[in-house]
Amino acid sequence: MHARYSVQIEPQPYGARGFLVTCRDLPFLTSDGATWEEAVHMAKGALLATIETLIEADEIVPLPSAAPGITIDLGTLIAAKIMLNNLRVEAGLNRAQLSERLGGPPAQAYRALSVLHNSRMEQIDRALAVLGYRAEFSVYQAAE
């Protein structure tokens, strides 16, 4: 999995100026921009904020689909954090319980899960391991 979410950018409704950003995979996400370029720029921050909110609420983060729109690539680290979160929620654990299983301070799992924190993959691997999973990495040639 890769964290590539499609966002839809449309003129603001009701004659308002600017552009509205939405995401079919995350229906509660909205953002905007005065220009098309600003709306595209704001979309990434809106995606990260929405994903962070779901993680903090101990909710499953919907995975990206093949919805039409502008693709925003959040990268492999964010994808790993989303998968870790979803496996944790499916296991019925909150972040404090995951920290306990990791044998560290509560902040350990909070940092590993936060899409706003630049974690090391070793932290993600360790957290996945305590849930009974492991990650694999693959490389492929990018389309031109």
- In this predicted structure, what is the pLDDT of residue 107? 85
Can you give 35-87 as a three-state secondary structure string?
A: CHHHHHHHHHHHHHHHHHHHHHCCCCCCCCCCCCCEEEECCHHHHHHHHHHHH
- In this predicted structure, what is the pLDDT of residue 92? 97
Nearest to 25 by CA among 55, 60, 65: 65
Q: What is the rounded distance in angstroms from the CA atom of residue 22 to the CA atom of residue 30?
A: 5
Whole-prediction pTM = 0.91
- In this predicted structure, what is the pLDDT of residue 66? 86
User: Is 142 exposed, middle or buried (CB count within 10 Å of its CB: 0-12, 13-18, 19+)?
Assistant: exposed
- In this predicted structure, what is the pLDDT of residue 144? 62
Residues 6 or more apart whose CB falls under 8 angstroms from that of 119 comprise 77, 81, 111, 112
Alpha carbon distance, N-terminus to C-terminus of the chain: 20
Tokens 């979803």, residue? 86
- In this predicted structure, what is the pLDDT of residue 10? 92
pLDDT by 10s per residue, the chain, length 144 = 679 999 999 998 777 889 999 999 999 999 999 999 999 999 999 999 999 999 999 999 999 998 889 999 999 999 999 999 999 999 999 999 999 999 988 788 899 999 999 989 999 999 999 999 998 888 878 776
